């Protein structure tokens, strides 16, 4: 058997079978692993001679090899170890001494004999021929036991508690402990594989839903879950995983009465006649456990034919203070389901959160093992269990009396809870009792090692999940895939002909030789013997292979593919790594480059994983270079077409004409009670019927913020400023980008600043910068042409030429606002000094440029990656400005629909004009008069652009925009119903 990877897999498969069939013990298994990994000469010679033999012959030879291995001397350490993370030695009966090595050789020999007898007995049953001498010995043993009367052997059922155990019962208990260890480990290790479901090229909502059900099954051992979100005293929102459906249900008196009986932040069991359970789909669950927290009632169900075991986390959560783990998982299930239904999601972010949740449950799972061991031991002994919280525990001796002449104590310590078993009449001078103690200790310490391994793996996995430059495949010692750091990039997949299907994870068919082509497999198998990293070049791409060895034992291997990153950013970071200091300008440039790099990666993955985004209005927010299409006609043709159509120029008129503006006197304005609505997100400009009422909104916002007095704004100048802005907003008769939109964005920015003032970040934007933000938001779209930047660039408009295709309209809006402010009659900044005016102008330009749609993802990433001590007024002002521009989309559904209708009118006009002029037509502007087509476009816009923007800002504002998020979610569901109806009509 040569030492290529296939041989590794075959060898470990064989010794696992030997262990499972009890033909070798744990120590023998370890000896084989270590000697094989270190290439022990005698073992290698045996395996090389048996290279072509069948598995049975290899097993037989391995057992003979073990019989010839010198017996190792194992000393049992008696030193008491009282650490927070490990079990103590047994607290022995006071003053009693015994020889721990007395029974070692006899027991070991008998174990080997039993396993050999079992092995040859199985061969005889299968009709195989065995050595005549071995057969003679086997027959003598059979005769010996046949002659022994079964009536002389005491029945296990006749043994009293505390009596000496016979070998059958002892063996049975050891097997049960071993089985308990395997069950708990298997249950809580499986969550680490669940992330593989997220690594396909396309991840749908159904994938996320399946993942969440599997996660709740692994961590809570439940079959389905439900939750009630308490919205008010009259209504609740109900979700059931059985139907994967959310619905509004009335909150009647019986529900309210039952709700008052629920303990908060405690796990409890529902009664069969529960009013809450009566609202669920008519399924007779055998048991349902609940958790009431944050105005949400979570319910976890087990099927009718399978009751939750006594040792499951839900049943022991209160005793061992595991409520935080269950609460975090519950909120994760709730938020992920809600968000995945209404927002495009990042699979890697979900995988990252699953690792965090899972590792907390792995830590808690030690208590599940403790409970299982307690139940197993209690079958034979009288046993007491005591749990105490460490914040109340001063010393072991004060709280738990560990010395006793008639009992043995076993103490398990954790950072939060200390558990103690008191086992009555356990006599450690008896071989059976000594072995039972050793097994308890062995399996618990082994499980603690498993927990530590999970922590290490989790940290390792999280590093690679967050890496954009490396792709890692990790395999276990049998060659099955354990971990994949991210969806496989198309280029790597193509170069190495990688085959990956996440649906195969449960059938253990995701092995290295099925994922990689034969060329990569050969490289892996040929180079693994050196026990160190090897760099292979294949198709001019690089990948590395790593053999995992822990404590001289082979644990598996990893294959890492690296995508090379070149350029200025990488070189600068080399300077940082070498200890060279960089000045602030260089650091700022590095940060900008990194944000742009991260943005491009994000956008590419978004389009790759969600192709429908390209045909929605969300594509309007992609980086501009991805949107400008090749012009299909010559420049002369374009100019002629412009002249024929007599397109309106977008330059500012030299003289304002107030023919349509109603006369009014600003001095007549004063604050009134109804002005409180201006401080609310529910404000609706469409409810105002006159222009004077709309002008008054601008005045009220400046008045409420104190800007009129603080900056000594003359009322005559303010009146002229508002007139000028209204005229330039409405001069092109745009359905959407008009005076109403300008005031709405200003009011939204005012609302966001009011919410900011109530948070711990209130001092980031001072009064002067807030004034800049109010005027910026008011003028952010003034003079809008009703077309997009792409149209301006493709048409070679005067504005595109003036601003060199860079943020064409945004620069125009900023310039026009400044130009109005420079006019002596409309200059509201007349009392600012020169430095203040320069700062005002600089801030206004930056704010308005932040509304450039093609910079959306860069702005989002910049704000997302802010430092913990964030205090950047410019970035925050820009983000408020950008989010305020989506003010209409965040309104309640009926109002949001009206704003959508207006902007889609502009898109339809542009699409028609582009066709007439021969310009490239934008796909998302086509057929918007068809309801389900417009609905699809709006869904993409809300899911990809608006909702993530609001979600990030709401988090920053300490969850003060939850109502906005709820509005957006309702609107998405409204559009989805229209899409569904349209698709049904087409069928």
Q: How many other CB atoms are found less than 10 A from the CB of residue 238? A: 18
Q: Which residues contact 297 (CB under 8 A, 6 or more apart)?
A: 227, 228, 230, 259, 262, 276, 290, 291
Q: Please report which confidence band the pLDDT of residue 539 belongs to, taking 50, 70 and 90 as the band edges.
A: very low
Sheet order of strands, 553-562 included: 481-484, 470-476, 553-562, 541-550, 534-538
What confidence score (pLDDT) does residue 660 get? 44
Does 336 have pLDDT greater than 70? yes
> How far, rounded to the nearest angstrom, does the alpha carbon of residue 450 sit from its chain's CA centroid?
23
Distance (Å, rounded) from C-alpha 433 to C-alpha 165? 8
Report CA dihedral (115, 120, 121, 123) to the nearest 10 degrees. Answer: 130
Q: Which residues contact 911 (CB under 8 A, 6 or more apart)?
A: 921, 922, 925, 926, 928
Token couple for 756 = 């900011």
List of E strands, 539-645: 541-550, 553-562
pLDDT, greater one: 338 or 537: 338
**229 φ, ψ to 5°?**
-95, 115
pLDDT, greater one: 682 or 197: 682
What is the arithmetic mean of pLDDT over 543-560? Answer: 75
Token couple for 262 = 């629920």
Does 60 have pLDDT greater than 50? yes
What confidence score (pLDDT) does residue 681 get? 96
Average pLDDT value over all residues in the chain: 77
Does 23 have pLDDT greater than 90? no
Question: What would the pLDDT profile of 869-890 be if each residue is shown by its tens digit?
Answer: 899 999 999 999 999 999 999 9
Known binding residue 862? Answer is: no
Q: Please report which confidence band the pLDDT of residue 897 belongs to, taking 50, 70 and 90 as the band edges.
A: very high
Longest Cα separation, the chain = 121
Q: Which of helix, strand or coil describes residue 683?
A: coil
Sheet order of strands, 407-413 included: 383-389, 417-424, 407-413
Distance (Å, rounded) from C-alpha 561 to C-alpha 564? 10
Known binding residue 538? Answer is: no
Does 404 have pLDDT greater than 60? no
What is the arithmetic mean of pLDDT over 316-327? Answer: 90
Does 573 have pLDDT greater than 60? no
What confidence score (pLDDT) does residue 482 get? 86
pLDDT, greater one: 734 or 349: 734
What is the arithmetic mean of pLDDT over 576-601? Answer: 54
What confidence score (pLDDT) does residue 776 get? 97
Does 982 have pLDDT greater than 80? yes
Token couple for 661 = 């503006």
pLDDT, greater one: 409 or 892: 892
Q: Which of 86, 107, 90, 24 is nearest to 58 (CA)?
A: 24
What confidence score (pLDDT) does residue 928 get? 92
Does 797 have pLDDT greater than 80? yes
Question: What would the pLDDT profile of 167-218 be if each residue is shown by its tens digit?
Answer: 567 678 888 888 899 889 888 887 778 888 888 877 788 888 888 988 888 8
Residues 888/896, Cβ–Cβ less than 8 Å = yes
What confidence score (pLDDT) does residue 839 get? 96
Distance (Å, rounded) from C-alpha 35 to C-alpha 552? 8
**CB environment 902-933: b (16+ within 10 A), e (fewer):** bbbbbbbebbebbeebebbbbebbbebeeebb
What confidence score (pLDDT) does residue 535 get? 46
Residues 437/90, Cβ–Cβ less than 8 Å = yes
Residues 821/838, Cβ–Cβ less than 8 Å = no
Which whole-number Å values give the CA distances from 616 to 327, 411, 487, 737, 852, in the listed order?
37, 62, 24, 19, 18
DSSP 873-905: HHHHHHHHHHHHTTTGGGS-HHHHHHHHHHHHH
Distance (Å, rounded) from C-alpha 125 to C-alpha 476? 34
The helix (H) or strand (E) run that includes residue 609 is helix 584-609
Does 818 have pLDDT greater than 80? yes
The helix (H) or strand (E) run that includes residue 676 is none
**434 φ, ψ to 5°?**
-60, -45
DSSP bridge pairs for 240: 226, 245
Distance (Å, rounded) from C-alpha 694 to C-alpha 685? 7
Which has the minimum average pLDDT: 184-188, 362-366, 549-553? 549-553
**193 φ, ψ to 5°?**
-80, -20
Known binding residue 780? Answer is: yes
DSSP bridge pairs for 595: none
Q: Is 970 exposed, middle or buried (0-12, 13-18, 19+ CB in 10 A)?
A: middle
Q: Please report which confidence band the pLDDT of residue 615 belongs to, taking 50, 70 and 90 as the band edges.
A: low
Q: How many other CB atoms are found less than 10 A from the CB of residue 983? A: 11
Q: Which residues contact 644 (CB under 8 A, 6 or more apart)?
A: none
Distance (Å, rounded) from C-alpha 815 to C-alpha 811? 6
Distance (Å, rounded) from C-alpha 677 to C-alpha 680? 5
Q: Which residues contact 219 (CB under 8 A, 6 or more apart)?
A: 188, 191, 313, 329, 357, 358, 361
**CB environment 531-560: b (16+ within 10 A), e (fewer):** eeebebeeeeeebebbbebeeebbbbbbbb
Token couple for 910 = 């542009």
Distance (Å, rounded) from C-alpha 894 to C-alpha 897? 5
Most confident of 245-259, 391-405, 856-870, 884-898: 884-898
What confidence score (pLDDT) does residue 922 get? 85
DSSP 548-569: EEETTEEEEEEEEEE----SHH
Q: Which of 354, 357, 287 is nearest to 315 (CA)?
A: 287
Distance (Å, rounded) from C-alpha 784 to C-alpha 813? 7
Residues 13/33, Cβ–Cβ less than 8 Å = no
Percent of the chain past pLDDT 70, that is, above it, reads 72
Residues 731/709, Cβ–Cβ less than 8 Å = no
What is the arithmetic mean of pLDDT over 147-153? Answer: 40
Token couple for 598 = 């991260």
Q: Which residues contact 286 (CB under 8 A, 6 or more apart)?
A: 302, 303, 304, 305, 306, 307
Q: What's the predicted TM-score (pTM) here?
A: 0.59
Does 131 have pLDDT greater than 80? no
What confidence score (pLDDT) does residue 109 get? 66
Q: Which of 267, 245, 388 is nearest to 329 (CA)?
A: 267
Rg (the chain; Cα; Å):
36
Distance (Å, rounded) from C-alpha 640 to C-alpha 312? 78
* Residues recognised as catalytic: 737
What confidence score (pLDDT) does residue 8 get? 62
What is the arithmetic mean of pLDDT over 535-554? Answer: 63
Does 329 have pLDDT greater than 60? yes
What confidence score (pLDDT) does residue 589 get? 57
Question: What would the pLDDT profile of 458-502 be if each residue is shown by its tens digit?
Answer: 877 776 666 666 788 888 877 888 888 888 888 888 888 888 888
Question: What would the pLDDT profile of 62-103 be if each residue is shown by its tens digit?
Answer: 888 887 766 443 333 333 232 223 333 333 322 333 343 444
Q: Please report which confidence band the pLDDT of residue 619 belongs to, taking 50, 70 and 90 as the band edges.
A: low
Question: What would the pLDDT profile of 109-121 be if each residue is shown by its tens digit?
Answer: 666 677 677 777 7
Q: Is 40 exposed, middle or buried (0-12, 13-18, 19+ CB in 10 A)?
A: middle
Q: Please report which confidence band the pLDDT of residue 307 belongs to, taking 50, 70 and 90 as the band edges.
A: very low
Token couple for 167 = 């070998």
Q: Which residues contact 839 (CB under 8 A, 6 or more apart)?
A: 768
Q: Please report which confidence band the pLDDT of residue 348 belongs to, taking 50, 70 and 90 as the band edges.
A: confident
DSSP bridge pairs for 238: 228, 247
Known binding residue 168? Answer is: no
Residues 336/967, Cβ–Cβ less than 8 Å = no
């Amino acid at each position: 058997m040569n030492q290529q990877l296939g041989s590794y897999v075959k060898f470990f498969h064989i010794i696992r079978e030997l262990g499972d069939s009890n033909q070798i013990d744990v120590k023998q298994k370890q000896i084989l692993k270590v000697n094989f990994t270190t290439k022990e000469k005698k073992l290698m010679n045996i395996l090389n001679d048996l290279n072509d033999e069948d598995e049975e012959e290899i097993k037989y030879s391995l057992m003979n090899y073990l019989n010839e291995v010198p017996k190792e001397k194992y000393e049992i350490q008696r030193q008491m170890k009282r650490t927070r993370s490990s079990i103590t030695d047994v607290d022995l009966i006071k003053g009693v001494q015994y020889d721990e090595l007395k029974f070692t050789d006899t027991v070991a020999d008998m174990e080997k004999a039993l396993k050999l007898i079992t092995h040859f007995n199985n061969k005889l049953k299968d009709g195989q021929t065995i050595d005549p001498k071995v057969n003679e010995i086997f027959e003598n043993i059979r005769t010996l036991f046949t002659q022994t009367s079964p009536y002389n052997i005491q029945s296990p059922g006749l043994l009293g508690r505390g009596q000496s155990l016979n070998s059958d019962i002892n063996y049975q208990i050891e097997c049960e402990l071993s089985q308990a260890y395997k069950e708990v480990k298997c249950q809580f290790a499986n969550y680490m594989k669940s992330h593989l479901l997220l690594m396909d090229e396309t991840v749908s909502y159904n994938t996320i839903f399946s993942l969440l059900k599997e996660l709740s099954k692994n961590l809570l051992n439940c079959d389905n879950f439900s939750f009630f979100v308490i919205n008010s005293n009259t209504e609740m929102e109900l979700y059931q995983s059985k139907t994967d459906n959310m619905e509004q249900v009335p909150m009647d008196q019986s529900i309210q009465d039952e709700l008052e009986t629920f303990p908060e932040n405690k796990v409890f069991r529902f009664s069969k006649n529960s009013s809450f359970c009566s609202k669920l789909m008519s399924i007779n669950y055998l048991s349902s456990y609940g958790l009431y927290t944050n105005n949400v009632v979570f319910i976890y169900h087990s099927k009718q034919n399978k009751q939750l075991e006594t040792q499951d986390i839900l049943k022991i959560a209160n005793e061992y203070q595991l409520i935080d783990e269950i609460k975090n998982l519950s909120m994760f299930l709730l938020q992920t389901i809600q968000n995945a239904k209404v927002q495009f999601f990042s699979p890697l972010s979900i995988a990252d959160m699953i690792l965090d949740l899972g590792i907390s449950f792995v830590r808690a799972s030690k208590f599940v093992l403790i409970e299982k061991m307690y139940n197993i031991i209690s079958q034979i002994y009288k046993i007491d269990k005591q749990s105490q919280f460490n914040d109340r525990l001063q010393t072991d001796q004060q709280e738990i009396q560990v010395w006793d002449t008639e009992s043995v104590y076993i103490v398990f310590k954790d950072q939060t809870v200390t558990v103690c078993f008191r086992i009555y009449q356990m006599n450690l001078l008896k071989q059976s009792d000594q072995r039972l103690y050793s097994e308890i200790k062995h399996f618990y310490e082994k499980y603690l090692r498993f927990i530590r391994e999970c922590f290490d793996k989790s940290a390792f996995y999280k590093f690679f999940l967050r890496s954009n430059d490396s792709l890692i495949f990790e395999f276990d010692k049998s060659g099955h895939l354990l971990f994949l750091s991210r969806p496989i990039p198309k280029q790597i997949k193509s170069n190495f002909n990688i085959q990956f299907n996440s649906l195969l994870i449960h059938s253990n068919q995701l092995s290295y030789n099925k994922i990689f082509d034969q060329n990569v497999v050969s490289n892996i198998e040929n180079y693994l013997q050196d026990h160190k990293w090897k760099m292979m070049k294949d198709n001019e791409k690089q990948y590395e292979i790593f053999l995992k060895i822990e404590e001289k034992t082979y644990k598996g291997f990893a294959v890492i593919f690296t995508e090379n990153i070149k350029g200025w950013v990488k070189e600068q970071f080399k300077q940082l790594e070498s200890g060279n200091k960089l000045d602030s300008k260089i650091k700022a440039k590095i940060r900008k480059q990194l944000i742009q790099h991260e943005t491009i990666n994000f956008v590419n993955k978004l389009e790759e994983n969600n192709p429908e985004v390209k045909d929605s209005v969300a594509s309007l927010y992609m980086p501009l270079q991805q949107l400008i299409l090749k012009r299909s006609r010559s420049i002369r043709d374009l100019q002629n077409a412009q002249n024929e159509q007599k397109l309106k120029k977008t330059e500012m008129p030299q003289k304002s004409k107030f023919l349509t503006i109603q006369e009014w006197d600003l001095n007549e304005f004063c604050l009134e009670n109804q002005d409180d609505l201006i401080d609310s997100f529910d404000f609706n400009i469409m409810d105002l019927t006159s222009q004077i009422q709309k002008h008054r909104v601008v005045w009220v916002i400046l008045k409420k913020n104190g800007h009129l007095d603080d900056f000594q704004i003359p009322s005559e100048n303010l009146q002229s400023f508002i007139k000028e802005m209204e005229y330039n907003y409405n001069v092109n008769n745009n359905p959407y980008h008009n005076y109403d939109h300008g005031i709405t964005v200003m009011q939204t920015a005012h609302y966001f600043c009011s919410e900011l003032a109530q948070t711990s970040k209130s001092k980031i934007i001072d009064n002067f910068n807030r004034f800049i933000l109010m005027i910026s938001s008011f003028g952010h779209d003034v003079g809008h042409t009703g077309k997009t930047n792409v149209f301006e660039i493709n048409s070679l408009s005067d504005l595109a030429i003036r601003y060199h295709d860079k943020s064409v309209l945004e620069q125009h809006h900023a310039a026009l606002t400044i130009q109005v402010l420079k006019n002596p009659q409309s200059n509201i900044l007349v009392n600012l000094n020169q430095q203040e005016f320069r700062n005002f102008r600089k801030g206004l330009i930056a704010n308005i440029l932040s509304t450039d749609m093609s910079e959306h993802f860069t702005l989002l990433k910049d704000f997302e990656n802010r430092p913990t001590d964030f205090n950047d007024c410019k970035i925050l002002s820009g983000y408020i400005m950008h989010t305020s521009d989506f003010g209409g989309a965040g309104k309640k559904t009926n109002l949001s629909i009206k704003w959508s209708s207006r902007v889609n009118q502009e898109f339809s006009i542009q699409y028609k004009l582009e066709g007439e002029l021969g310009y490239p037509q934008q796909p998302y502007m086509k057929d918007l008069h068809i309801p389900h087509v417009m609905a699809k476009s709006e869904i993409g816009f809300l899911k990809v652009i608006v909702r993530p923007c609001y979600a990030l800002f709401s988090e920053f504002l300490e969850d003060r925009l939850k109502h906005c998020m709820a509005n957006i979610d309702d609107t998405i569901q409204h559009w989805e119903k229209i899409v569904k109806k349209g698709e049904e009509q087409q069928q």
